[in-house]
Structure 1
């Protein structure tokens, strides 16, 4: 990782009050401590399995992207961040928001430039004094990132897929933060579940799970997702990882990160159709498309005979209607 520029600002705001800005007048000088801080920030960010998105087309009402374009041209990072804070302030002037510290980091990794914008809170830490006493320090806590966004300059320039990502830290990814960045097209639940299914399959193969275990894992994930849907809870990737391998729950998360698979850390489920990839089988060939619930295989409603699929106990009237033309002829 090559740290290019970093700056820290503060937005002061309590619930139901107006926001005020305290912006730095200079960039933070790069040194070993700052680089270590950024390394940890990037690691924590990646471990939270971000959601993806792209910029809104309306650059007038969502000007962060315009500021970012200008920065690419004039290389004035302080100007970019101060003007961005003005945008953030305008989005936060509502009753339900609170302030925090906002850090902007431009870094390069694997020859790709990134811009991270993160909101952080302070938390209490305790240390010893020279006379062996104890004192409390209030310090920025990377683990308690409230909200964060990362812009992939390379993907954005080449209009390649979703070049924005968001994480939910100690707070939800609020609409005001998404509007501040000017993001749209946040990855859908269906897309996330399709990617998740593919990732689980690839991980199972790499871990050399026998087919019986693969089927058991898939069924357990389906039951968990169904339960989340009924209880109106998000599907958590950390919970999925524990289902896949309870003895080493971080292994699947590491697999996702190492293979740069973009799956949201928390997936909101709005309808059963969102997770059909886990509950349904689909076979598409010339002239037909067969879709059925996987549960029907367990109930032996659908069975296999060699290269043939047999559907049992189909109501006679439906079969008569389906084959009416053939019978008439």
Structure 2
């Protein structure tokens, strides 16, 4: 990770307050120094963010109601400085925070950085937590305050290249609920985050994650098939009753010995799978069946047939091999297959 620009602004708001003026802003006028302390803090925040991300989406198209994309475009494309961009965005967040009685203040971090040859912008609300420190000279204990990074409830990240190309989803974010309340809703509203609900994209990403997870676990073909089949059955059941797939619940189905490990793998590896989404039947059916076409020939068989060696593929000759063909099908093939009249008689 290479930090390009970073700045913090403060929003002050008492819990339980709401309405105009409930949230006030205290802004910095210069960037944070890019030093070891910032790099360490940023790395910790991004590590937690990777685990906490559970939503993907785009910006709302109504830029009058949701002006953050305008601010971002002026900053990234028109060269407006990071400081006014971040100050104005903090004011948008504060305005929405003021409408939420249970929201409390915090520090708005704006982090522009490059990683894996990509340009990113992270916006996160950080809270402080009390602690105990020590004076190295007197060895006396003292009260300290530090960022409570482990409890990251409000954060969003933009893949700036994907955003400029309008390749969806280019936005990820954290959604947190407490006591049935969506405590991060105001933050997403301030940035105009809109959930990306493309069923096929989510299901395709899920399929890739399941296969890669099985490989990372070093599972046998039989274990991989069982995981894929459990995923298929879960998606099929959710589709049948008209409910969304829940990644946390699915994780427990895939690997019940460690119920959370698959969901953690999805987040840590950056697969674009929302916490809940509608399963795409044609896509998740590939967990169970292989379908294809060769000319006018339609091919369809269960993955289980591969494991049972009833179907195989000869890579050297590019042949699809089907074994144990029933006699009635053999008879039909013989009936319709042209005879070679020049073949020698028995």
TM-score (norm. length: structure 2): 0.68
Aligned length: 292
Displacement of 1:123 in angstroms is 1.6
- What is the CA–CA distance in structure 2 between the aligned matches of 1:281 and 1:71, rounded to whole Å? 47
CA deviation string 1:99-128 (max 9, x = no partner): 222111111123322110001211222223
Over 3 Å counting, the alpha-carbon distance change for 1:137 and 1:5 in structure 2 is same
- What is the CA–CA distance in structure 2 between the aligned matches of 1:274 and 1:23, rounded to whole Å? 49
| Structure 1 segment 138-177 matched on structure 2, within 5 A | 138-168=145-175, 172=182, 174-177=184-187
SS of the counterpart of 1:162?
Answer: coil
Work out whether residues 145 and 170 of structure 1, in 8 Å CA contact, stay in contact via their aligned partners in 2: no
Name the residue aligned to 2:246.
235
Work out whether residues 192 and 267 of structure 1, in 8 Å CA contact, stay in contact via their aligned partners in 2: no
Over 3 Å counting, the alpha-carbon distance change for 1:200 and 1:307 in structure 2 is farther
Aligned pair 1:51/2:64, yes or no?
Answer: no
Displacement of 1:79 in angstroms is 0.1
- What is the CA–CA distance in structure 1 between the aligned matches of 2:107 and 2:249, rounded to whole Å? 27
Name the residue aligned to 2:26.
22
- What is the CA–CA distance in structure 1 between the aligned matches of 2:39 and 2:203, rounded to whole Å? 35
| Structure 1 segment 1-329 matched on structure 2, within 5 A | 1-13=1-13, 14-17=15-18, 18-72=22-76, 73-98=78-103, 99-130=105-136, 131-168=138-175, 172=182, 174-188=184-198, 191-205=201-215, 207-221=217-231, 235-237=246-248, 240=251, 243-244=254-255, 246=257, 250=261, 253-254=264-265, 257-258=268-269, 260-264=270-274, 266-267=275-276, 277=284, 281=288, 283=291
Over 3 Å counting, the alpha-carbon distance change for 1:212 and 1:36 in structure 2 is same
Over 3 Å counting, the alpha-carbon distance change for 1:100 and 1:61 in structure 2 is same
- Flag structure 1 segments of 5+ consecutive residues without an equivalent: 295-303, 309-329
Displacement of 1:90 in angstroms is 2.2
CA deviation string 1:2-52 (max 9, x = no partner): 111111112122223321112222221221111111122222222334421
- Flag structure 2 segments of 5+ consecutive residues without an equivalent: 305-321, 327-346
Work out whether residues 144 and 170 of structure 1, in 8 Å CA contact, stay in contact via their aligned partners in 2: no
**Two-structure CA RMSD over aligned residues (Å):** 4.0
